[in-house]
Amino acid sequence: MALVPLACLCLARKARMSSLKPGKKLWISLEEHQDALELIMSKYRKQMLQLLQGRKGEDAEPVLKVHQANSLEIESQIDRVCEMGEVMRKAIQVDDDQFFKVQEKLAQLELENKELRELLSISKESFEVGREDLPDCEA
């Protein structure tokens, strides 16, 4: 076995190391690029999430405004219906009061008519009795 001088071994090692250096540099560069790409992608995902959440808010906002407008309109209509119901209730009460007054007046007039008929009947009877009591002048 031949002895290889130490200088040759050092040169071979240097050559191997220098050939490894570009691979190592490439590996380090690749890792740096991957880290940069991960950072860029995480920022992209974050911005997309914010954009989607913002759009959801924007998309929901017009619908929410429409629903609020509809609920206000419904509340207004309910208030109007309640007011109309109250007016109708008052009108019914007035009609009922008027009806009872008319019924009372009718009963009063019927009673008065009955009493007047009785008086007329009594008057006719007394007139007929008075006539019978009078001597007959024509005979």
- Please report the DSSP string for the chain in residue order: -PPPPHHHHHHHHHHHHHHHHHHHHHHHHHHHHHHHHHHHHHHHHHHHHHHHHHHHHHHHHHHHHHHHHHHHHHHHHHHHHHHHHHHHHHHHHHHHHHHHHHHHHHHHHHHHHHHHHHHHHHHHHHHHHHHHHS--S--
Q: Tell me what pLDDT residue 1 has.
A: 45
| 5 belongs to a structural domain | no
| 40 belongs to a structural domain | yes
| 88 belongs to a structural domain | yes
| 138 belongs to a structural domain | no
Q: Look up tokens 């309640």; give the residue.
A: 82
| 11 belongs to a structural domain | no
| 124 belongs to a structural domain | no
**How many domains does the chain divide into?**
1
Q: What is the mean pLDDT of residues 28-47?
A: 89
pTM for this entry: 0.41
| 42 belongs to a structural domain | yes
User: For 97-131, what is each residue's pLDDT tens digit?
Assistant: 999 999 999 999 999 999 999 999 988 888 787 77
| 81 belongs to a structural domain | yes
User: For 59-100, what is each residue's pLDDT tens digit?
Assistant: 667 778 888 888 999 999 999 999 999 999 999 999 999 999
Q: What is the mean pLDDT of residues 29-45?
A: 90
**What domain range includes position 54?**
21-119
